[in-house]
Every structure is written in C-alpha cells, then in structure tokens.
Amino acid sequence: MNGARAFYRRNERLILGLAMIALFLIFWEGLSRGWWADLLRPLIRSSADKLKIKHIFVSSPTAVAVAAWRLYVVTGEIWPHLAISGLELVAGLGSAILVGIPLGLATGRYRLLSYAVEPFMAALNATPQVAFLPLIILWMGTGYGTRVFIIFLLTIIPIFISAFAAVRTVDARLLKVAASFGASEGFLFRSVVAPGSVPFLLAGLRLAIGRAMIGIVVGELYGSAIGLGLMINRAGSTFQTDTVFVGVMTIIFAGMALTELVSRIETRVEIWRPNARDAVQ
Amino acid sequence: MRPSVEKAIISGGSLALFLGIWEYSCGRLVDPMFLSSPSRVVAAGVDLVRTGEIWPDVLVSANEFIWGYLAAVAVAIPLGLFIGWNRRAQYMVQPFIDVMNAVPRITFLPILVIWFGIGIWSKLAVVFLGAVIPVTIAAYSGVKTNEARFLRVARSFGASGFKIFTSIILPGTVPFIFTGLKYGAGRALLGVVVGELYASTAGVGHMIAEAGNTLQTDVVFVGVLIFTVTGLVINGLLDRIEKRFERWRPAGARQ
C-alpha cells in the first residue's frame, strides 16, 4: 500500500493529467451515446432528453478514432491535404525568413532605415493580417500563392522583430572594440552580430510557427481547393464532425511537434545568450 | 538635428512616399479595381460614415470583441491564479491548456458554427477561446514566478494562506496578467476577423468579405484600416497600463 502511495507521489503530475484526459474522453463519449441522459433520467425526468445530443453535433472519441483510421490508413485521403498544407507552410515561412531576417538585421543596424521601416511594421503588426485575405484573393486567386502570401504576412512580423532585437542587444562594448581594431562592417557582422543573434532568431521562429498555423487554417478555410483547412471546412459544412476533429487533432499534433522541435534547438543554443527568449516577447 | 525630429521627418517621409506611389500608380499602372488608391479609400470611408452604413457592422464587431474578451478575462484570471496556486489543480488542467495553446483556436471555427450557428454566438465563442488561453497562461506563470524569499518570510511570520495570496502573490502577478491581456486582445481581434470572414451576417469582417467578393477594393481597405486602428489603440492602451505596473514585477523576473 505504501509502495502505491509512493508511486503516486512520484508521478502525481502524470497520473492526475492522464486521469483528467480520460475523464474528459469518457464524458465526451457519454454525451454522444446518451449515457448521461439515461443516468440522470430518474432525477430530472423529461428534461433529460435535452442531454441526448445528436451525434453530428459532438461526434465522439471512438468515432474520431475510426475516422482517423479511415483517413490516414484505409483511404489515405488526408495525405495530399497534409502535403499541400506542409508545402504552403514551408514556402510562406521560408520566404518570410529570407526577407525578414536581412530586413530586421539591417533595420537594427542603421538608425535611419529603422525610422523609415518602423511605421509600416507597426501598422502591419497591429492589423490582424488575415483581414487582408479577401484582397489577396482578389490579387492572386484562390491558389497556393494566396496561402503562401498570407503565411508570409503573418510570420514576417515575429521574424523581423527578433532579428531587429538581436542587433539592438549586441553588446556595444564588443562593437566598439572590433571597430577600434579596424574591423570592416562585413567582419563585424560575421563575427559579432550573427553569432549573438541565433537565439533571438530561434525565439522568433517559434512564434512564427504558431502564426503560420493560423495562416494555413484561415487561408484554407476561406478559399481553397485543397489542404487541411479545406478538409476541415468541407467536413464542417457537411456535418461530418468526426472528420473535423481528425483535422483539428492533426493540426494540434503538427503545431506541438514543430514548436517542440524549435524549443529543443533553442535550449541547445540558449547558453549563448540567456535572455533572448524574454527580449523577443 | 534632434533625433526625434529626424525620426518624425524620415518616418513621415517614407509614409508619404508610399502613399504617393500608391496614389500615382492607381489607374496609371494598375487597374483601380485591384489596388484602389488612398484618395478613393478615404472617399469610401467618408461615404460609409456619412450614410451611416458602417455603424451596424462596427457595432456588431465591437460587441463580439468586447463581450467575448471580457468573458475570457473573467474566466482566465481566476482560473490562472487558482491553478498557479494549487499544484494538483495545475496537474489536472495543464494538459488541456497545452493542447489548446498548440492549436490556433480559430481551427475550431467550423465546429463552433455547427454548435452556435453563424450569428454572434459562434464569434463570441471563438473570441473567448482565442483570448482565454494566453491570459490563463500569463496569470498562472505570474503566480509561479513569485519570489520564494517573500513566501518564506511571510510563512515564518505565520501569515495565513489568504494573506499571502492577497499581499504577495496577487501584486506580483499583476504585471504578468497585463502582458497576457495584451496577447489576449490580439487573439480576440483575430477571432473577430476570422469568424466574420468565415461565416457571418454582419460585422466589419463581413463587410470586408462582401466588398472583396464584389470587387469594392476601397471598402476592403476601409475595413482593414478599421482593424488596424483598433489594433493600434488597444495595443497602445495596454502597453501603457503594462508599463505602469511594470514596477510591481518581482525583481527576479524583470525583462
């Protein structure tokens, strides 16, 4: 008995967490199968019928699992959607990195440039960028370009800001020493600025991934012919709630995996500059 | 030249240049249908205000934002404080918060529309979900970063749990909560936009979507501008409050 208690003490976090998840799943399953309605009928009589919720409204964990099996394994129809969404993410995020990092570094280094760029970045940052979506569709149609562009708009902000912050927090003494020894701008950049900025850029990337997921979902919900967001949207409008949940779960796992990946790399290089995380947020 | 003057000149100059190029290229280089122009956008904005056409949409969006956000704050702050204070509660709630934090909450929109319809309720729900997670996390991590020294001192002088909570934990958490409120407001605004773009019958997002479908580019820009100004105002306001309470942040957690 004591052994069991000690085991519980050691793994309290895991046990309580899993227990709550299990309870939640049972509650959900019961909701769609009418367990709770049947259970409470003697107590609340006819109003128990209100607890009988139509399956299309809530689906159930087992139905979602079955749908996931069907979509991933039997028909495999989710893979093309997944591949397209992944490509859009890579292209949008990649172009944001290609533009955002140089722009952020240059803006951080040259004061006058920062004056010129800042108003635009502040405005873009304050706007929920997805509001541009109808406009982008007008310009580029409903093809991949639209999604890549909206992901670009969403992700360039955190990447730009992190690159900007990286340059601004470089130790001024280091710059002064290097400059007084006659280091060229290029050398200064390679040997002082670039190494110090890596942790910042990773912190920015972590934020950008979260925003890229927003871009994928919204871009595809709003106007698209393929992709995870479209799958969710189509399933939603045809009341296939289980398929909607499969899509949502897929996005949850993808988001967690990508964020975890960047966090891992981050903790690895964290030693280089301990407060990069705070400065970007 | 003083830096602030220099800044004003260059910032203003680059904005003016941008608007000038936009104005010039419209009709000459690009079809106005695609790009509109600053003057047309202003004209459309004035027109929408003069006819009063815009107010019902603004009102709907404002309602969605305000009530969804307030509901989220009303739930998130007590919840965050509680799970920060009570370890077992944290263990129980954490997995759900982690999962919800990993996914853009707007992903749930199709389900919320099935549950609540395309009226204001589905938007309230998505605004609520968007804002509730960052505020909860902020309140909770605020409690967690309280200085252990203070707690130990308070305990050794025999302070009750309630006293410790109100005199040490709560003040130390306030700055974190305001940071969370700022994130939450951004998410809430995003929820309004996406919710209305996706399926709605009214609201500024609805106005943007409809104008986009009917190629009224100037009206689209008016709508986007409304969101930009709203975002700037909310950000500025919360930034100021956040700075005001910055001194309350426990010394170990200053940024």
Q: What is the complex's ipTM, to 2 decimals? A: 0.85
pLDDT-derived band at B253, boundaries 50, 70, 90 = low
Token pair of B39, please?
A: 């003057």
In this prediction, residue A9 carries a pLDDT of: 83
pLDDT-derived band at A281, boundaries 50, 70, 90 = very low
- Which residues on B lie below 8 Å from A247 (Cβ)? 107
Contact A233 B99 (CB under 8 A): no
In this prediction, residue A272 carries a pLDDT of: 58
B232 has a chain A CB within 8 A of its CB: yes
Question: What residue type is assigned to position A94 of the chain?
Answer: G
- Spatial distance between the Cα atoms of B225 and B45, rounded to a whole number of angstroms: 10
In this prediction, residue B250 carries a pLDDT of: 61
B239 has a chain A CB within 8 A of its CB: no
- Spatial distance between the Cα atoms of B220 and A135, rounded to a whole number of angstroms: 7
Same domain, B67 and B112: yes
- Spatial distance between the Cα atoms of A29 and A23, rounded to a whole number of angstroms: 10
- Which residues on A lie below 8 Å from B38 (Cβ)? none
Cβ contacts of B241-250, under 8 Å, gap ≥ 24: B241/B178, B242/B175, B242/B178, B242/B179, B242/B182, B245/B174, B245/B175, B245/B178, B246/B175, B248/B171, B248/B172, B248/B174, B248/B175, B249/B172, B249/B175, B249/B176, B250/B145, B250/B146, B250/B147, B250/B150, B250/B172
- Spatial distance between the Cα atoms of A34 and A7, rounded to a whole number of angstroms: 36
Q: Measuring CA to CA, which residue among B74, B103, B85 is closest to residue B181?
A: B74
In this prediction, residue A42 carries a pLDDT of: 77
Contact B10 A248 (CB under 8 A): no
Contact by Cβ (8 Å): B37, B22: yes
Q: pLDDT by residue (tens digit) across A232-258?
A: 988 988 888 899 999 999 998 998 898
Q: Give the single-character DSSP code of B200.
A: -
Position B208 in a domain: yes
- Spatial distance between the Cα atoms of A64 and A250, rounded to a whole number of angstroms: 12
Domain count, chain B: 2
Same domain, B75 and B141: yes
A16 has a chain B CB within 8 A of its CB: yes
Q: Best of A8, A10, A11, A13 to disrupt the B interface by mutation (most B CBs within 10 Å)?
A: A13
Q: Which domain holds residue B128?
A: 51-253
Please, what's the b/e burial string for B27-51 (b: 16 or more CB within 10 A of its CB; e: otherwise)? eeeeeeeebbbeebbeebbeebeee
Same domain, B131 and B63: yes
CA-to-CA dists, residue A33 to A22, A58, A216, A268, angstroms: 16, 10, 33, 48
Residue B1 predicted with pLDDT over 80: no
A25 has a chain B CB within 8 A of its CB: no
Q: pLDDT by residue (tens digit) across A124-137?
A: 888 889 999 988 98
- Residue A225, SS3 per DSSP: coil
Same domain, B31 and B55: no
Position B46 in a domain: no
CATH number at residue B194: 1.10.3720.10
Question: Which of B10, B94, B99 faces A252 most closely, judged by CB atoms?
Answer: B99
Contact B228 A127 (CB under 8 A): yes
Q: Any idea which of A71-75, A107-111, B149-153, B171-175 has the lowest mean pLDDT?
A: B149-153
Same domain, B6 and B61: no
Residue B144 predicted with pLDDT over 60: yes
* Domains in chain A, CATH or no CATH each: 2-53 (no CATH), 74-280 (1.10.3720.10)
Average pLDDT, whole number, for chain A? 85
Across B99-114, average pLDDT: 88
More confident residue, A239 or A47: A239
Across A188-196, average pLDDT: 79
Neighbours of A52 (CB within 10 A): 13
In this prediction, residue A271 carries a pLDDT of: 61
- Which residues on A lie below 8 Å from B212 (Cβ)? 133-135, 137-138
Q: pLDDT by residue (tens digit) across A55-87?
A: 778 888 998 999 999 999 988 889 999 999 999
Token pair of B111, please?
A: 């389900």
Position B228 in a domain: yes
B254 has a chain A CB within 8 A of its CB: no
- Spatial distance between the Cα atoms of A233 and A255, rounded to a whole number of angstroms: 19
Contact B10 A259 (CB under 8 A): no
Smallest CA–CA distance, residue A190 to chain B, in Å, is 27
Residue A274 predicted with pLDDT over 50: no
